[in-house]
Amino acid sequence: MESAQRVPAIRFRLGGIPVEVQVSFFLIIGLFGWGLSATHWLIWLGVAFVSILVHELGHAVAARSFGSPASISLYGFGGLTSYRQTTVHRSLVITLAGPFSGLALGAIVYVVSEAAGPVHGDVRAAVIIALWINVVWSLVNLLPILPLDGGNVLRDIIHIVSGVDREALVRRVSIAVAVAGGVWAYTAGYPFSALFALFFIGTNLQGLRAVTARQGERRLVDAASRLESAGDVRGATDVADSILRDRPDAALEVQAAIVEAWACLQARDVSGAQAALAGLPEGTPVPLHLRGALALASGATDQGLALVVDGFVQHGRFSPRGLAVQVHAAGVTDDLVERLLLLDPLDQEGAMQLQAGLEHAGLHREAVDLGARLRERFRREQPGLG
């Protein structure tokens, strides 16, 4: 917020709606009028300012009609109207209100100019510029390309029809339309417009990667949950493998590899767990609990216990069921419990998760024993609760 306040800008209210016009707006919009005479350039700048402001006012007034406060910011390549998130049907109306306001202003300019008779000179230039910005730009803005209004309209319509936000699909449509538009613009002799198409292609490719990452994270969370609650090793491995095949970003790659490693450990497949982690970039930090479980599975008992306890000290996230399987298989359940009870302060949440992991792994006696020891520890530390 502080950095935003330092941006040079003109601020005022229009009909109760806060408006901020940044200096970058005039700089960038001014470039579009490069090559015009000084007088026509000033006309271009003034008409563009009014036209884009009317466009954003269309969004803002529609948002306020649904009870949402709204504010307008003009910057860089255009404008942005901020308003409270609402239903998809209302969002569609608010989105369409912008370009329709521009088209309405263009229609008014055309009707008035025709009624006034032939116009010449600077007046004719102002009319042509107003029609170009309010009609041509409004129609271009309705192309199904995110982040243009047309892209948001397509997203809302698909959401209304399917009941699901299909952002990935809209991103792909945006890329296809931007590619086609860029090719047309370049061959038709509009290189500046072709550059804009490249910008839209890059933006949507980046957005598509972000959507894919979010979807992958949700799939991994679900797979990890099933791995813990039901021991669904096959499902977790399949999800992790499919994500890794799609060459995810670094963060998602690490998450997928870790889920797959825990799944392999639950299946007593030590080599598979090691292989899952071996594909990570060199220097990638592997959670201490996982490193400890791998050490236990490989027969390095002392090292494994030390790493697991360090993991509890650092309160790191882990797979309780996967860890419980390895601790039990190594025959060090009692040793680990004793070491945990010596921690000061005890990682109560982590110890209780381990107890749940023992229970889910079918190690009921061990789970009951750990629970009893934890309760005794808590009573000693907080006698008033006993």
Greater confidence (229 vs 223) lies with 223
Task: With both helix axes pointing from N to C terminus, report the angle between 38-65 and 121-131 in degrees, rounded to the nearest 10.
Answer: 40
- Please give the angle made by the CA atoms of 258, 289 and 227, to the nearest 5 degrees: 50
Contact 204, 210 (CB under 8 A): no
Q: At 2, is the pLDDT very low, low, confident or very high (cuts 50, 70, 90)? A: very low
Q: At 383, is the pLDDT very low, low, confident or very high (cuts 50, 70, 90)? A: low
State the pLDDT at residue 83: 92
Q: Please report the sign of the dihedral spanned by the C-alpha atoms of residue 175, residue 177, residue 180, residue 183.
A: negative
User: Mean pLDDT score of the chain, rounded to an integer?
Assistant: 87
Q: At 3, is the pLDDT very low, low, confident or very high (cuts 50, 70, 90)? A: very low
Q: At 187, is the pLDDT very low, low, confident or very high (cuts 50, 70, 90)? A: very high
Q: At 384, is the pLDDT very low, low, confident or very high (cuts 50, 70, 90)? A: low
Q: At 334, is the pLDDT very low, low, confident or very high (cuts 50, 70, 90)? A: confident
Q: Is the pLDDT of residue 15 over 80?
A: yes
Task: Name the residue ranges covered by the structural domains of the chain.
Answer: 1-142, 143-230, 232-283, 287-380
The per-residue pLDDT for range 136-156, each reduced to its tens digit, is 999 999 999 999 999 999 999
| pLDDT above 90: percentage of residues in the chain | 44
State the pLDDT at residue 6: 60
State the pLDDT at residue 66: 93
| pLDDT above 70: percentage of residues in the chain | 97
Contact 340, 306 (CB under 8 A): no
State the pLDDT at residue 56: 95
State the pLDDT at residue 1: 33
Q: Is the pLDDT of residue 178 over 90?
A: yes
Return the H-helix or E-strand segment holding 309.
helix 301-313
